[in-house]
């Protein structure tokens, strides 16, 4: 076992969003996501088979949902997104990293 820090090994230049599995299991996946000015394409939606609990650890972001609702997240904000709730990232801070902790579960 080793102690790790969620804020280490963040690249200085991030051309695409970075997705890293921290823990994977049969009905569970924990992932670190790093964004820096990234957003989901206008014609694309996440529509996942599993539920997603996500917390913003650093930075700010805006999520949009297919029902036309949206929400602003800042460090410490978290939300549980039920499976098959179509959503996308509309905005992340362009001048600093946005660090997400996402837990996908059945």
Q: What local confidence, expressed as pLDDT, does residue 12 receive?
A: 86
b/e for 17-39, b at 16 or more Cβ within 10 A? bbeeeeeeeeeebbbbbbbbebb
Q: What's the chain's average pLDDT?
A: 96
pTM: 0.93
Which band of pLDDT confidence, cut at 50, 70 and 90, is reported for residue 19? very high
What is the chain's alpha carbon radius of gyration, rounded to the nearest angstrom? 14
Domains with residue ranges and CATH for the chain: 21-105 (2.60.120.10)
Q: What local confidence, expressed as pLDDT, does residue 99 receive?
A: 98
Residues 73-102: tens digit of each pLDDT: 999 999 999 999 999 999 999 999 999 999
């Amino acid at each position: 076992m080793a102690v790790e820090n969620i804020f280490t090994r963040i690249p200085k230049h991030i051309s695409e969003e970075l997705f890293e599995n921290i823990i994977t299991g049969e009905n569970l996946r924990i992932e670190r996501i790093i964004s820096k000015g990234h957003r989901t394409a206008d014609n694309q939606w996440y529509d996942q088979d599993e539920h997603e609990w996500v917390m913003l650890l650093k930075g700010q972001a805006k999520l949009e949902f297919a029902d036309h609702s949206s929400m602003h997240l800042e460090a410490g904000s978290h939300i549980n997104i039920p499976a098959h709730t179509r959503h996308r990232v509309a905005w992340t801070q362009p001048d600093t990293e946005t660090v997400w902790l996402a837990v996908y579960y059945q």
